[in-house]
Structure 1
Amino acid sequence: MNDQAISIRDNLQDIYKDVYTTEALTALSALAHFNTRIKDVMATRMQRRATRQQSQTRINFLDAASTIPGTAITVQDARNGNFDGAVIPADLQRQWIQGTGPAAKPNAPVENSIRNVAYALLSGADGWMFDGEDALGQITTMSLDNQRNLKLAIHKDPLFLKVAEQVASEMNRWAKSFLGRETIADWKTQLDFTTKIFRARGLHLDDRHIRDANGVAIAASIVDATLYVVNNYKALQEAGSSIVLYLPKIQTAEEAGVWNELLSALENHVGLEIGAIKVYVLVEQLEATHQLMEIRAVLGKHFVGFNTGRWDYINSVSDAMAWDKTFINPNIEAITMTYGYMRNYEDRVRRAVNTPDKNGNFALWQGGMEPNIPVGSEEGVSASMKKAVAGAEREQREGASGKWVAHWKMVQIVRPVWEKIGAANQLGREFPRLTYTQQDADGLILIEPAPTDIRGARNLLSVALQYGNAFGQGMQAAALKPADFFGNDDILYLMEDMATGEIRLSILWEWMHKGAILTEDDLETGTKAGAVFSEALYQKLLDQEYDKLLKAANKDVYDASKTTTLPIAREIADVYMVSEVKPPWFIDLLNINLNNTDLAIAKQRIRLYMDTLINQGTRITENLDFIC
């Protein structure tokens, strides 16, 4: 398609005419003008980042007397709750467990790919966030496969119902063997239990298939939200379901305001009331934690809650403090939700949601991700499940109304934590109002003593390499563990997505460029406690960990990837690590190499990206293979 507003590459409009419907294309054309605004706020974001690093200044709170950029709302009004928020709709009142994962699989026919949706909607989760972002692969046309599968499921297409019946039997067999009981009594009824939620890609990412009238790659946020809403809002409303999105990677209230305008324009276009689309915001960015009430106020009647994710947030803190030689994260395993800056971040979120708006409305707090999967030795599974339940119990005690799980098998293991309590949510639980002091700001970057050792470095590097490899094969969500634990069923695989890939290189970059002091002796490398983590040590570990992956069995590292996507993953990781200028996103370097298995081409693209970043201060975010 090529009209005055948008152009779609190749013949995708014909292949995906069920997704690129006339109604959807009309809406995309009507909303395409938001692309310029989004690109402007993303340029502002990069400039803010560069200025902070050059001037070596920390993120701080907004001036209370100022007006939130792009709005007429004052910062003080937002903090006081002097705005119109949302009433929580019935199907979001109880969200004890939300599962997360994509609605499609890479290189799979529809009847196989759509099984992801069946597992989700039959799991017993109160809600399922079908991911268009961190967990959804982007090779070939996976973003469109994801939209297609969701439409088929939401409209209860006969193909989906046939697959769901088969999947229900499989899930019951597993449940009987693991839990001692079946979990699905009537599969058709069960399909209606789970609230459907969709996570669009963030403002910082571009769609791979559409450009605007100026030939600029259109923001993925516009495409994802528009296709999902236009194709499904009628069916959702007819079923009595809310239209719900998760919004990722928001850094400022100004960016939230762009989302608010986009969603309001979409509602106007299709004839929905303003506020009909409800949104959760993932608090994944340090800057956002300084503007929580401002983000709530700007999103107004759209906003229903915050989610406290672990991985992306750690990455954002690391990135924001890249200039500070004294800020060095410890081993990633030490950075739990009770660690230093994470503890303070979570506390601010729960205070923000429990501050009423001017009509007395509160918002929801959805706890973070449980990445464990109950697959491994009996001892390993038992220990990991106890840990998962304990984590859920802690979040429930702290005030969360529910949490996330990364695999459908975890739903029935973790959900009983909230079932025992029985309350639908913890809306309005009393916590102190937010304050905005220097002490508060310091707490959001609080580093506490914890191990920084060679084992930690190996874990960071091994999983980062494996994740880059999985990404290139179309699996942005993959079950991974460090190579040293391959074959050890006592150590479980964890579901890793783009967020976990981001943070591993981010922490390792800190260690090497800031001279992290190792806290433990290591016999294998001969390093002693007190030694500095050097580039030479990094290169030695890179060679060793990469060699382990080359020698790994096909189960852990696909043999075909060892001469295709794995070498590219190594090149990306190495360029990221040795660069004095820290790349803002690991995903950028992965995205520009999607569908490419030629290392020579990958090197050219990686160099182009880094040269552009260093010399112009801008990111390359478009699909370099776009042929209109």
Structure 2
Amino acid sequence: MSGSTPGTLQLQIRDHLEQDYADIYTPEALAALAFMAQFDAEQKRLMDERTRRRLMRMKQGWKIDFLDPQSEIKGTGIRVQDARDGNFVGAVIPHDLQRQWLQGTGPAAKPGAPVKSSLRNVAYALLSGADGWMFDGEDALGQTRTLSLDNQRSLKLAIARDPQFLEVAESVAQEMNSWAQGFFGRDIITDWRKQLNFTTKIFRARGLHLDDRHVRLNGQSFSASIVDMTLYVVNNHKTLHAAGSSIVLYLPKIQTAEEAGFWNRLLTALEAHLGLAAGTIKTYVLVEQLEATFQLMEIRAALGRHFVGFNTGRWDYINSVSDVNCWDSDFINPNIESIVMTYGYMRNYEDRVRRAVNTPDKNGNYALWQGGMEPNIPVGSEAGVTGSMTKARAGAVREQQEGASGKWIAHWKMAHIIRPVWEQVGEANQMGRPFPRLTYTAEDAAGLTLLEPAPRTIRGARNLLSVALQYGNAFGQGLQAAALKPADFFGNDDILYLMEDMATGEIRLSILWEWIHKGAALTEDDAETGLRAGDVFTMEIFERLLEEEYAKLLAADNRDVYDHSKTTTLPIARAIVAAYVQDPIKVPWFIDLLNINLNNMNIDTAKERIALYFTTFKEEGRRITENLDTLPTN
């Protein structure tokens, strides 16, 4: 396929996918992609600047700081102080986002599955009782084969109420009620057709740091963000509008207000191309990057009428804090289990977000704060489920009391367990709740990297390593989101599986990298290894634990580790984990190493690609983000 914009921009779609997915690559969608291709060069520039900024911080030992209040947010014409003062026009929150007590997350497709099987994902989501559902095109969606396109296809069919989807939804409703009868002693769905209209549909596009696997521009990689937002909006905006529903996106991995301004230009250009009023597309921003927490009001202002709220996630944010401080020998995280939302830098991050959304714009409009992820699933022993659900509800109560208008869940079974926390309070949202205005002091900056005493143990290291290996393996299988737990707890139903995504693996490796390369001291004795409190976590300890935890995965049954993965994707996951953790140069994204090995099952090829990535990054300061299987050959 080739589609052109004025000038020399030309798009190519690989392997006849334009014909195989003609329902997604419609003439309207192709025309919009060709129009939006003009922004790809700026996306590349912004990502190059990210890499240079990171490199300078590492070389010079720079800590992130707040922007100069008298400066301008690059590319927007907005003065930083005006953004902080609310001197900008933001969004009026649309009717179907006013109440978002509970948002579920997950992809709309399964790897290698028939259409009807993938549609089950959407049916579970829209029948769950969640107020909104973020259908994921990023962290929870595997990118093997054509899964990103299958995801778009499922959403289009479901939003259009295609007969295939309705047939699936009726069947899924019966299954959900059958489960609910056993768990709650009652049905959770009375009228499945009516229930399908309850949940607001939201789509998360891939971040600016990623490239699409199928579309290229002038023979070069092309922005996944542009592809995702364009295909979703073009294919669904008319149907959503006819149903009285908003077009809503989640924007991930934004680091700066300049990047938010770029997203604003993307959204505005697409709206103009489609004849939509400026500000029609509404966006939440996932605050997943430490740098973004230094620029919250600036990000709000840069997105203007498109912005409706922030989300405070956990895993990606912890990873960002670790990555930003990779040069600082004094910054060493504890066990991941200790880094909860009330821990040190996480507590200060959450506080800044709630203060930012409750600062009014020039028209008196506030924004929403959506709390973080609840990864538990109510499947396990009676004692395990009871304990975990009590903990999950307590976490939701804390967030509600702190000012969140809702939170996330990773599995539909949690909807009727968590949503009542907000339901019992009864307020649609907590916008405008009084909190102190944001301040921008040295103390505020220090609080965003605040470490507090917490355990650092061999048990913690085993958990970090086991789960990271499993997520790398799941990613290679096309399952970026999976229900996992450390291998030592396989078969123990008192310890529940947690439904999480690839970012969970990434932060675990970042912490292990810190422990090795910054000489982390253990805080407890360990009988199995003979190590004592105060001993340093060395490369030799890591290599021993890697051997032991990998052996446990090889010995696990098919329920926990697919047998066919043990000779294909699991060895590749191990090679990636070892390379990422052992190298003294910390590469910015674990996902890069996974992406360049998608669809590859050969360990020798994987090792070649891993070596190429490290060489390219070190010698050229460049990440490899392309689909290596489709690069033209000489």
With the length of structure 1 as denominator, give the TM-score of the two structures. Answer: 0.99
- Structure 1: distance between partners of 2:3 and 2:410: 40
Alignment of 1:50-449 (within 5 A): 50-213=55-218, 215-449=219-453
1:568-624 deviation line (CA, Å, top 9, x unaligned) = 000000000111110101100000000000000000000000001111111000100
Contact 2:487 2:549 in 1 (8 A): yes
SS in 2 for 1:379: helix
Contact 2:3 2:31 in 1 (8 A): no
Contact 1:565 1:597 in 2 (8 A): yes
1:22 aligns with 2:32: no
- Structure 2: distance between partners of 1:357 and 1:505: 40
Contact 2:315 2:503 in 1 (8 A): yes
By how many angstroms is 1:239 displaced?
Answer: 0.4
1:585 is matched with which residue?
589
Unaligned runs of 5+ in 2: 5-9
By how many angstroms is 1:288 displaced?
Answer: 0.1
By how many angstroms is 1:446 displaced?
Answer: 0.1
By how many angstroms is 1:66 displaced?
Answer: 0.2
1:260-287 deviation line (CA, Å, top 9, x unaligned) = 0000000000010000000000000000
2:7 is matched with which residue?
none
1:505-542 deviation line (CA, Å, top 9, x unaligned) = 00110001001100010011110011000000000000
Q: 2:467 aligns with which of 463, 468, 493?
A: 463
- Structure 2: distance between partners of 1:445 and 1:463: 25
Contact 1:376 1:491 in 2 (8 A): yes
1:166-185 deviation line (CA, Å, top 9, x unaligned) = 00000000011101110100
1:202-225 deviation line (CA, Å, top 9, x unaligned) = 000000000112x22111000000
By how many angstroms is 1:626 displaced?
Answer: 1.4
Contact 1:123 1:411 in 2 (8 A): yes
Amino acid at match of 1:173: S
Contact 1:131 1:199 in 2 (8 A): yes
SS in 2 for 1:166: helix
- Structure 2: distance between partners of 1:185 and 1:89: 27
- Structure 1: distance between partners of 2:574 and 2:125: 33
Q: Percent identity?
A: 72
Contact 2:360 2:366 in 1 (8 A): yes
Contact 2:46 2:259 in 1 (8 A): yes
1:2 is matched with which residue?
2
SS in 1 for 2:629: coil
1:378-405 deviation line (CA, Å, top 9, x unaligned) = 0000000000000000000000000000
Amino acid at match of 1:96: W
- Structure 2: distance between partners of 1:560 and 1:147: 28
By how many angstroms is 1:498 displaced?
Answer: 1.6
1:400-429 deviation line (CA, Å, top 9, x unaligned) = 000000000000000000010000000000
1:422-480 deviation line (CA, Å, top 9, x unaligned) = 00000000000000000000000000000000000000000000000000000000000
Amino acid at match of 1:121: L
- Structure 1: distance between partners of 2:78 and 2:216: 33
Contact 2:480 2:502 in 1 (8 A): yes
Amino acid at match of 1:504: R
Number of aligned residue pairs: 627
Amino acid at match of 1:180: G
Contact 1:9 1:627 in 2 (8 A): no
By how many angstroms is 1:2 displaced?
Answer: 2.0
By how many angstroms is 1:253 displaced?
Answer: 0.2
SS in 1 for 2:475: helix
- Structure 1: distance between partners of 2:592 and 2:221: 14
- Structure 1: distance between partners of 2:115 and 2:494: 35
SS in 2 for 1:478: strand
Unaligned runs of 5+ in 1: none
SS in 2 for 1:590: helix
- Structure 2: distance between partners of 1:501 and 1:613: 21
- Structure 1: distance between partners of 2:254 and 2:157: 30
1:39 is matched with which residue?
44
Q: 2:486 aligns with which of 457, 479, 482?
A: 482
SS in 1 for 2:178: helix
- Structure 2: distance between partners of 1:468 and 1:580: 21
Output the aligned Cα RMSD: 0.6
1:9-30 deviation line (CA, Å, top 9, x unaligned) = 0110000000000000000000
Amino acid at match of 1:267: E
Amino acid at match of 1:311: W
- Structure 2: distance between partners of 1:138 and 1:70: 32
Amino acid at match of 1:54: K
Contact 1:549 1:557 in 2 (8 A): yes
By how many angstroms is 1:627 displaced?
Answer: 5.5
- Structure 2: distance between partners of 1:497 and 1:22: 34
Contact 2:384 2:494 in 1 (8 A): yes
Contact 1:118 1:164 in 2 (8 A): yes
With the length of structure 2 as denominator, give the TM-score of the two structures. Answer: 0.99
